[in-house]
Structure 1
Amino acid sequence: MGSGARGGLSRPMLLFIVIDALLVLTFLILLGTIGVNPGGGPTDGPSTPAATATASADPEDVDDVAFALPSGNIACTMGAGGVRCTIASYTYSPPTVPGCSGTVGHAVALDAEGFRFTCEDGTPGAASSDVPVLEYGEQESVGAWTCGSGTDGVTCTDADGAGFRLARAQWTEVP
């Protein structure tokens, strides 16, 4: 009698089951990674800025959030990687950014590397009317980043409380 008659599976049949199980597992992993929306298309694609973010177990799986302060002078975008804010008009003296031959003072960033002014090719205008407004006294959080809107400007920090305050008259690194 062969090995299949002893109550066990033959080696080719066992190999077939293992390969089949691996293929099914691979398919399920890919399906979960790509994701499918109810309309049948992939969920990856451009996201519409919103004034609120949803919590997610995976910090890389959060939607970017864009907002402007009520004055329209400051606009920010927050995502899993950090925060970037622009200011159209300011009266403070911006710092020097080594190696920058562009414009400094209109854009700041806060990410895993910390807070810094960024070198830009031009100057931003006021926030467009389609950017959601973060009213004074409200705050927004995405991943480890939180920004609050106030009459004294925008304050953005990381999970440890380090970050910046940006306003027309001054900028401050916090804490």
Structure 2
Amino acid sequence: MLRLRPIFPALSLLVLAAPAHAQSGPAGFQSPSKNIACQYFDYDKQNVLRCDIAAIKTRPRRPADCDLDYGQAFEMNARGPAARICHGDTVMDKSLPVLAYDEVWQRGGFTCKSEPTGVTCFNTDRRGFSLARAKQEVF
């Protein structure tokens, strides 16, 4: 019988000692159609909300300074303006809970509402975005 011995026994103790209240997955939600997903991040006490939309009718022109994907990702801080961003990743995650139509999600200064026509999110300054397959708008 082959016996395996951990290479880093102290590391395995750290994993076992993780607090029971640790978050088990990403904070955020996805729309019932699963076409829109939003995730909340706390970067050193700087709250950020990012939402991605998988399918859109018309993709905007990519800016010259963007060498990655453009047109389907939006981001904002808890204060200040929202923006469409240049990105090389996605926050689309099938493990995110579904935010049912006409339900509201709130966290860290952000409010989002899911509707049959899409998702609208805004921050404490009432700046944000509305995302739908037919049209995306930053306000």
Same-fold call, TM cutoff 0.5? yes
Q: For residues 66-89 of structure 1, give each alpha carbon's deviation from its aligned partner in whole angstroms, at most 9, with x where no partner exists.
A: 210000011101244121011111
Relative contact order: is structure 1 or structure 2 higher (C-alpha 8 Å, sep ≥ 6)?
A: 2
Equivalents in 2 of 1:105, 1:167: separation in Å? Answer: 12
Partners of 2:91 and 2:41 in 1: how far apart? 22
RMSD: 2.7
What is the letter of the counterpart of residue 67 of structure 2?
A: S
CA distance in 2, matches of 1:65, 1:95: 30
Q: TM-score, normalised by structure 2?
A: 0.72
Query: SS of 1:106's equivalent?
Result: strand
Provide the rounded CA distance (Å) in 1 between the counterparts of 2:126 and 2:71. Answer: 23
Structure 2: runs of 5+ lacking an equivalent: 1-15
Q: CA deviation at 1:105?
A: 1.1
Amino acid at match of 1:67: F
Is 1:155 matched with 2:120?
A: yes
- Asked if 2 retains the 8 angstrom alpha-carbon contact of 1:79 and 1:143, the reply is no
Q: Identify the structure with the greater helix proportion.
A: 1
Consecutive unaligned residues of structure 1, counting only runs of 5 or more, are: 1-39, 50-63
Q: Does 1:143 align with 2:82?
A: no
Question: Distance in 1 between the 2:61 and 2:120 partners?
Answer: 18
How far is 1:45 from its partner?
8.9
- In structure 2, the CA distance between the partners of 1:136 and 1:147, relative to structure 1 (3 Å rule), is same
Which has the larger strand fraction? 2
Q: In structure 2, do the counterparts of structure 1 residues 98 and 159 end up closer, same or farther at CA, with 3 Å as the change threshold?
A: farther
Separation in 2 of the partners of 1:164 and 1:44?
Answer: 35
Matches within 5 A, 1:76-95: 76-80=38-42, 81-94=47-60
2:28 & 2:103 partners in 1: Cα distance? 14
Which segments of structure 1 move beyond 3 Å, counting only runs of 4 or more? 40-46, 95-98, 124-127
Q: Determine which structure has more spread, i.e. the larger CA radius of gyration.
A: 1
TM-score by length of 1: 0.58
